[in-house]
Every structure is written in C-alpha cells, then in structure tokens.
Amino acid sequence: MQNETVAMKEKEPVSRRSFLGSAAAAISAGAVISAPFAFAQSRSEIFKGEQDHSASNPGPVNKAIAGQNGSSELPPDTDKGDVNPFWYSFDLSHRRVQDGGWTRQVTEKDLPSSRDLAGVNMRLTAGGYRELHWHTANEWAFMIYGNARVTVLNPDGTIFINDVTEGDLWYFPAGFPHSIQGLGPDGCEFLLVFDEGTFSEYQTFLISDWLAHTPPEVISKNFGLPESAVRKLPDDELYIFQGEVPGSLEDDKKAVGGKAVESKIDYTFRMKAMKPTLENASGDVRIVDSSLFTPSKAISGALVRIKPGGMRELHWHPNASEWQYWISGSGRMTVFASSGKARTMNFNPNDVGFVPAVAGHYIENTGTEDLVFLELFRSSYFAEFSLNQWIRRLPLQMAEDHLHLSEGEIEKIPSTKLDVLGR
C-alpha cells in the first residue's frame, strides 16, 4: 500500500482532499504543541520548497506561543489572504487585583474586529464584593467556578436576589443597579459579556464613586442623615472589596421585605443544568436565547461540548457576529472571510475567539479531552445555517453541478443540521 501511494505521488500532484485528510490526521494524533511538526511532516512530502527549508526559522522564536499556534506557524495550505485578527487571550490582559478579588477584560481595543461585544473575567473571594453599580451596556454572565449571590433592582422598586453556581447565567439590563458577592466555600469566578465592543469594566457607575463626588450637604439632605454620618462614607471608589460571607438566601429575602418587594422577573438561568438542545455521540449544544431566558433581550448564547476527534460543523450565523470564550480543551478554527480569504488559528482555555457575522467557520477538537466553549451573539435569538443541510436541501442536479460529486456521494452528506459531528 505504501509503494502504491509513493507511485501515485510521482504520477500526479497530491489532491487538496488528501492533503487535508493527512493534516487532520496529524492534528488528531498529537497534542497541540506538536501540531507545527505534524504539519511540517505531511507538507514536506508534498512541497519541494519546504524540503529546501523555505519554512525554517533560524531567528528568535517565542516557543510557548509558537507551540500553541501551530496553525499560524505553519498554516494549512487552504489559508489565504489577509484576515483580520480573531484570537486573543485573557491571559494577555492586565489583571486588576484588589482585596476581595480581581478582574481583567478583553474589549475592542484588544480585539479590534469585535465591535459588538466585550468580555470581562472576574474572581471574587468568599465574601468579596463587586460593589453596587450600574452601566451603559447589557450584562450577560456565565459562572465558571464556585458560588455567588446576585441582586438587581427593578424600576418599580422590586428587588431580585438569588444564588448562582457553576454553569448558571445571569442577565442585567443596562442601567439596572446590581451587585455580585462571592459565597462559601471559595468564592467564585465568572465571565461577563457586554453588548458594547468598547465597554470598559473600569468605567462603570459605582455607588461609592458617586457619593464621593457629591457635596456632603446634598447627601445629608438626600439621606436625612447628619453630616457626622455622611463623613463615614467612602471617599474613593471601592470597586472590589472584602466583606463578610452573607447568611442564607431566605434570610436576605426576608430582610428586604419578602414577597411584597420580590421581583416577578428571574434574572438567572441554569444553563449547564438544562437538557441539551442537541446531543449526539460527538458532543452536545445548549442554546439559550430570549425564547428560553426571557430577560436576555440583547445577548444570546450557546454552550458547546465537542468530544475528541469531533468538530462543530461548517456553518455561519446570519444575524450577528460570534464572540467565543474557550473554557477547556484545545482546538482550531478556520474563518472564511470570502474572496479567497481564510485563516486558521489554534485556541486553548481562557482564549477569546471572534467570527464576523455571516463568515463561514468550523471548530475542531484537536486535543485528547472534551472541548468546551461558549458562543455569544448580540441578538435576542440564536440563528445559524448548516452547510451540510443547505447542500442536501438543493435539487440533486444543482448540487452535482456545483460540487462535482456523484449522487451517491452527495447522499452521504448529513441532511440534518447536526451542529457537532464525529470523525
């Protein structure tokens, strides 16, 4: 069989399909760090230029970054043209650390293509507060770790208070005052997503900041307190600070007025605990938009799990760009930007990905463990088109004429939108 393969290579160029197959096999067989070498081995058999060391790099190399980005170091032959950056990592962002926790962000400044959404990664200790505040953007959140208590006030004076844990969501409308506090035993960590690409977590409306910049006599008149009491107020913003771990949720609800002041709107949702929207042997997808989580009017999302060797099928989204947060595992994504432009990048935990609206793409698990990531959209509803389903919905002759495939080959293409595919 090996001799037959060599003979075929001598007679005719290797086809695009055989190259892609060998490259995919190389990625599936090794870890992400070995990807550049796997690509080099398969490609060197094909391209004489690389046998002459055209791809060699005798200069300085940041081995840690190069090892995690094999698809940039030695791109697939299908990558062409200039595609705007669509990768960044929270681990490159400045981390603001205070007593009670820390925060860091990825905005349009860091990832210029992402004009619709910005993200914040935050950690609070047990008892640690993200102080009472509000902001100009809608806030969608996913709990990565631990437990937290959240509050949000409605314009009618009713208050929502609830506890959230790993895999839960919350959604706070723009301008609604709210708070977040870490609970026992070890606080929490979460992702915040805002529907403004230029949103900055460091420019929110803080209660401490407002009062510090209001004349004391005005505060005294407003609160009905003597100026001696007003002097106790913070003279600068708190932002994140350490507090005491609160008591039970029930006690807090009773303390503020019980059912009489309880919000009729639930601003939290159990995303990870919900039944998958789609599930098969290759993984599962949980889609949450305003049809399930009514308050989430501006942001929708999906939690995707892909098993080793599987992939998120070739697809695109017609209504919004896609902002991704990679939670665990490793993978690669190619973004097709039309007009012969495409680029492939590798992704790892804590990375951020971006896909422009209507751009075709896939996501492949290149590691040995489950790949888990979030897809976020500035839209009240989730929508996508499957390339497989489109092909199978076309008249057979039309598909044959465009793809140069036989009837039998076309019939092997899945006719339903599967979202996640196997090997």
- Rounded Cα distance, 143 and 164, in Å: 7
Q: Is 404 annotated as a binding residue?
A: no
- Rounded Cα distance, 40 and 219, in Å: 68
- Other Cβ atoms closer than 10 A to 96: 15
What's the sign of the alpha-carbon dihedral 328, 332, 335, 336? negative
Among candidate residues 201, 237, 375, 384, the one labeled active-site is: 375
- Rounded Cα distance, 99 and 129, in Å: 10
Q: Is 317 annotated as a binding residue?
A: yes
- Rounded Cα distance, 77 and 23, in Å: 10
Q: Is 361 annotated as a binding residue?
A: yes
Active-site residue 375, yes or no?
yes
Q: What is the dihedral of CA 165, 103, 209, 137, to 10 degrees?
A: -70
Q: Is 139 annotated as a binding residue?
A: yes
- Which pair of structure tokens corresponds to residue 311? 């992939």
Do you find a cis peptide bond into 185, omega within 30 degrees of 0?
Answer: yes
String of DSSP letters for 119-170: EEEEEE-TTEEEEEEE-SS-EEEEEEEEEEEEEEE-TTS-EEEEEEETT-EE
Residue 274's closest CA among 244, 302, 247?
302
CB distance 179 to 238 below 8 Å: no
Annotated catalytic sites, by residue? Answer: 375
